[in-house]
Amino acid sequence: MIRSATPADAAAIATIYNHYVLNTSVTFEEQAVAPSQMAERIMQVQNDGLPWLVLEQNGELLGYAYATKWRVRSAYRFSVESTVYVKDGITAKGLGSRLYQQLLTELKALGLHLVIGGITLPNDKSVALHEKFGFEKCGHFQQVGFKFEQWRDVGYWQKLL
């Protein structure tokens, strides 16, 4: 079941996300996020009128997806950045695709025009997920982040809705 997130989901979302924070370079966050911080993030996204979705199966939260404003200037109001995370150990089972499909459907219904996905490179799985949904690479920043004692590149993919 895919549904809108609530602050009650914050602890489960933080658990999923913190695995990636502490063990991977897919996010440039370097400190674990507390459930209270995650609850604030959920509320901010929803207060901005954007979706934050969770995927639940048998009462367990297995993944989430959301969109944030791309930039604060008003001319950017029809562009968002998307994020999708699935619980470690159950990737490549189609859950991320289900979340992304629902997120894109909701973003289009909101009248948004462009979705942007930022991907720490290399990350073949994330690139494949974005391209599966018609995203096209539009930018590449070399050595823009430093995590785990290594410089990391970030590529950007975009999709017109």
Q: What is the pLDDT of residues 137-147, one digit of tens each?
A: 999 999 999 99
pLDDT at 112: 98
- Domains of the chain: total: 1
On the question of pLDDT at 34 being above 70, the answer is yes
Q: Which long-range contacts (CB under 8 A, 24 or more apart) does 23-30 make?
A: 23/88, 25/120, 25/145, 25/147, 25/148, 25/150, 25/152, 26/119, 26/120, 26/123, 26/126, 27/120, 28/120, 28/145, 28/147, 28/152, 30/147
pLDDT at 18: 98
19-44: average pLDDT? 97
Residue located via tokens 């979706």:
51
Q: Which domain holds residue 103?
A: 2-160
Structure tokens at 54: 């969770």
pLDDT at 94: 86
Q: Indicate which CATH number applies to the domain containing 122.
A: 3.40.630.30
On the question of pLDDT at 17 being above 80, the answer is yes
- pLDDT tens readout for residues 40-92: 999 999 999 999 999 999 999 999 999 999 999 999 999 999 999 999 988 66
